[in-house]
Amino acid sequence: MHTHHHHHLDHDTPRELEGVLKVGIGGPVGSGKTALIEALVPILIGRGHSVGVITNDIYTMEDADHVKRTLDGVLDPARIVGVETGSCPHTAVRDDPTMNLAAGTEMLRRFGDIDTLLYESGGDNLTLTFSPVLADVYVFVLDTGEGDKMPRKRGPGITDSDLLVINKIDIAPYVRADLEVMTRDARRVRDGRPVILTDSLEGTGVAEVADFIASRRPVWSPSA
Amino acid sequence: MTLLAQLQLTDSAFPGGLYTLSHGLEAYTQAGPVDVGALLEDVLLHAAGPGDATALVLIHRAVTAGDWDAVVETDRRLHAIKLNREIRAAATRTGNQVLRTATLVFATPELARLTELVETGTTPGNHAVVLGAAYAGLGVPVDDAVIGDLYAFAASWVSAAVRLGRLDFRRAQATLYGAGGAIGLAAAHALAARGPLDLHAATPVADAMSAVHERAEARLFTT
């Protein structure tokens, strides 16, 4: 039984996006959102899902292009699109997510088999949240390089996201970040919501992220 | 209530993705120095006035008269005079999204009818067309509607100029207020339109800039 608080079947969701699990991935610039997506997509495809990726690049198509190169042969490049936001990323995923909804709708019209849509936000700050109309599940990505005090700093991204990922655990010793402190603080401020440690480049912890996403896939989804 | 509804629709906070557009300004700034205020006046008089504003007026009249064939004809012609892919895509994306939200918020039969026509692919649902239908259904007088919409366009333009670092926040407001004369002229031009054949745009430099922008290596805005 899924106890998620968002309303999946309300009239706010465009018809084309009904039945599609929309996963929002946010977090500071350089924390590893793109790397997580690149590691996650092959796992989701391997589990029989059909995936689309929408990136919100702040200034270039760098992220969209990187994902296309990395997933060459794994995911059709036409299933990866970039949206220019003209502004701070939180506007495009929270205050007025209409252009992201439009991009998702257009992609589903083209590829009706997609059951999982990953929305990568442009890098933002700790206050980032996704509109519940845009994302059913909200994953926030921090990394150890930002310093082990980050989880303590809170902010809605850290405290309210459905899943907090702490990435780049491999470099923790080099940036003097104490993983135990980060994990303990994160669990303390998140009221029991899950925290997963990853090294997206090596794939550590990414299967657990896929498991978490699967646990949020509602019963009406055709591939649930 | 009519005034309040109009204020709500012209407010930049009404979700429709307008903040993703620079209306061509980004391409000009990438090409070199630009007089933002003078360019805004040019765009109002030669693009927005005879294009989107004229369409808004024609749609307002057609919807008020219940002539949905004229609505479709005007929408299609407006789409046809937008020469660049990114401009057409932006006009229908923002239009379709405003339509969805406005239909939910204002729940007028006119917006419901337009939604039907857009969803069946009968008409593209350009931004100006959606607003024309919304204002007509809400009883906003056509001259107020067109002035208000041109103001919203100019406000969106100067907001883009601030984000592109071409105007500071105070100069932006002075530029917006200074565009009042051009907004009035563009509105008068639009209100004088007799039919869809009066919709036109002859902006070769802007079209070339937009074509360059479509392939720009780095950009903040969709248009």
Q: Which domains, and CATH codes, for chain A?
A: 15-215 (3.40.50.300)
Q: Could you tell me which residues are beta bridge partners of residue A56?
A: A83
Q: Report yes or no: A28 and A124 within 8 Å, Cβ to Cβ.
A: yes
Query: Which of A16, A85, A94, A98 has the most B C-beta neighbours within 10 Å, making it the best mutation to test the interface with B?
Result: A98
The encoded tokens of residue B31 equal 């090409």
pLDDT in tens, A72-122: 999 999 999 999 888 888 889 999 999 999 999 999 999 999 999 999 998
Distance from C-alpha of A144 to C-alpha of A146, rounded to nearest angstrom? 5
A86 and B160 within 8 Å at the Cβ level: the answer is yes
- As a whole number, the mean pLDDT across chain A is 90
pTM of the predicted model as reported, rounded to 2 decimal places: 0.88
- Band (A58; pLDDT cuts 50, 70, 90): confident
Q: Which residues of chain B have a CB within 8 Å of the CB of A16?
A: none
Of A223, A215, A218, A221, give the one whose Cα is nearest residue A193: A215
CB burial string A127-162: b at 16+ within 10 A, e below: ebbbbbbbbbbbbbbbbbbbebebbeebbebbbbbb
For B172, residues 6+ apart whose C-beta sits below 8 A from its C-beta are B158, B159, B161, B162
pLDDT of residue A1: 37
- Band (A220; pLDDT cuts 50, 70, 90): low
pLDDT of residue A88: 82
Q: Report yes or no: A151 and A185 within 8 Å, Cβ to Cβ.
A: yes
Taking residue B203's Cβ as centre, other Cβ atoms within 10 Å add up to 19
* CA distances to A6, A23, A133, B166, B188 from A161, in Å: 12, 11, 15, 37, 51
B93 and A99 within 8 Å at the Cβ level: the answer is yes
pLDDT of residue A5: 45
Looking at the predicted structure, is the pLDDT value of residue A4 above 50?
Answer: no
Q: Which residues of chain A have a CB within 8 Å of the CB of B13?
A: 95-96
A95 and B15 within 8 Å at the Cβ level: the answer is yes
Mean pLDDT of A152-161: 94
Q: Which residues of chain B have a CB within 8 Å of the CB of A84?
A: 20, 219-222
pLDDT in tens, A11-32: 577 888 989 999 999 999 999 9
How many Cβ contacts (< 8 angstroms) between chains A and B?
A: 63
**What's the ipTM?**
0.84
- Band (A60; pLDDT cuts 50, 70, 90): confident
Domain at B35-199, CATH class: mainly alpha
Taking residue A204's Cβ as centre, other Cβ atoms within 10 Å add up to 16
The residue among A192 and A165 whose pLDDT is bigger is A165
**In this complex, which of A12, A84, A98 lies closest to B222 when CB atoms are compared?**
A84
pLDDT in tens, B44-84: 999 999 999 999 999 999 999 999 999 999 999 999 999 99
Regions of chain B where pLDDT drops below 50: none
Give the chain A residue nearest B90 (alpha carbons).
Answer: A99
A86 and B222 within 8 Å at the Cβ level: the answer is yes
The encoded tokens of residue A112 equal 């009706």
